[in-house]
Amino acid sequence: MNQDLLVRLFRSIDGDPNDDIVKVAETIIDDERKKGHSKLADRLKTILSKNVQTSQHFRGELKNIFGSTVSIPTDRRNNIPLATEIFRDQLRHEMILNDEIEKKIKRIEQEYVARERLAQFGLKPRHRILFHGAPGCGKSMSAERIAWNIGLPFLKVRFEAIISSYLGESASNLKKLFEVIVTYPCVLLLDEFDFIAQSRDNKQDVGEMHRIVNILLNVLEDYDGPGIIVATTNLEGSIDKALFRRFDDIIEVPKPGQAEIQRILKTTLSSIKTDKDVDWNSLSKQMIGFSAALIVKIANDAAKNSVIHGNGVVSKAHFVISLTENQLYNKT
């Protein structure tokens, strides 16, 4: 196993000293030391020691990052954290995407893993990413998948804490958050980015929102930290044009095509039996234009219907009922 992969693996370990996973990790460290890899063994030992300290407020690698003297900043008036950690075991990381989008996201992950090699040639990995597209197609999930695959902790910005009715405090909150993450590796998600990134051409916006956009322009442009910033939006056209130039990669996450729809349906129903009368081709054609989230909902509703009103085998009839009930959710 190569060094980068071992380091990523150890960063994801979270538990008590007596947990089996921790004992296995200690065995790996001993093996590396016997092989003469003393520096790697010392590095792994340091990571492991910090991750199993149960006295820290944060779990896993996040306590490793913020330690006992540094914490996620809070807003001044209500003491609400400006970001929330989503623990590794809660990250959604199994996705079904078309080949083009899969390659683009995998490229982000590969560049991050190879960041030290890139640095030797004066190159930097993509670390400011914007996902845009229709609701329910996997933009936020893509950010979680990136964090899972590269082994970084995942933080989600709390805009309800960032935005303040008091003059100047919203911009101050935003700056405080970026001052903390600029030296600590994590994936920071700015979900529904358009909430604070609306175009400055909007004449109805108050001056405070213009100041927030200006601060956002500066912190994004200046960000050169060890992690990745991911922003998502459903409303590409409403974002200030200058912000687009601050991102290293802008990726549209489309609604799934017919092939992806079939895979989503079958994956969602993998733990339950389906009847032979289910025509997957016909079914997937009917769902073209649906979001991935709606397709999952339709499959789950059909499965629940089959359990409650049938023998636990999903049939064509169950899908007909589910499709009819969920047509209102389709915004196409």
Domain membership of residue 156 (yes or no) is yes
- Is residue 37 pLDDT above 50, yes or no? yes
Considering the domain architecture, whether residues 100 and 237 belong to the same structural domain is answered as: yes
Split into its structural domains, the chain has a count of: 3
Residue 14 to residues 63, 226, 255, 319, Cα–Cα distance (Å): 10, 21, 35, 41
Q: Does 55 score more than 70 pLDDT?
A: no
Side-chain half-sphere of 279: how many Cα atoms within 13 Å?
6
Same domain, 151 and 235: yes
Give the pLDDT mean for 303-314.
93
Helices and strands in the chain, H and E counts: 15, 8
CATH of the domain at 276: 1.10.8.60
Residue 35 lies in a domain: yes
**pLDDT value of position 138:** 94
For the segment 316-325, what is each residue's pLDDT rounded down to a tens digit? 999 999 999 8
For tokens 């609701």, the residue is: 135
196 shares a domain with 107: yes
User: Mean pLDDT across the chain, nearest whole number?
Assistant: 84
12 and 104 co-located in one domain: no
Amino acid at position 16, single letter = D
Which pLDDT score, from 0 to 100, does residue 12 have? Answer: 75
Q: Based on the fold, state whether residues 161 and 269 are members of the same structural domain.
A: no
Of 217, 252, 287, the residue that ends a domain is 252
Q: At which of 252, 270, 291 does a domain end?
A: 252
> How does residue 58 score in pLDDT terms, banded at 50, 70 and 90?
very low
169-181 and 207-222 helices, crossing angle to 10°: 10
Return the structure tokens found at 137: 């197609």
| Amino acid making up residue 234 | N
Mean pLDDT calculated for residue range 40-56: 70
Query: Does residue 311 surpass a pLDDT of 80?
Result: yes
Average of per-residue pLDDT across 107-120: 95
Q: Domain for residue 180, yes or no? A: yes
Q: What is the pLDDT of residue 139?
A: 95
Last-in-domain residue among 198, 217, 252: 252
Q: Which domain holds residue 164?
A: 83-252
Which residues are bridge partners to 187 per DSSP? Answer: 154, 228
The answer to whether residues 219 and 120 touch, using CB atoms and an 8 Å cutoff, is: no
144, 154 in Cβ contact below 8 A? yes
- Could you tell me which residue, 54 or 13, shows the higher pLDDT? 13
- Do 243 and 268 belong together in one domain? no
For residue 237, what is the domain's CATH number? 3.40.50.300
pTM value is: 0.74
**Whether residue 31 has pLDDT greater than 90:** no
Q: Average pLDDT for residues 272-300, to the nearest whole number?
A: 95
- Domain membership of residue 237 (yes or no) is yes
Q: Are 201 and 272 in the same domain?
A: no
| Pairing of the two strands 83-86 and 154-157 | antiparallel
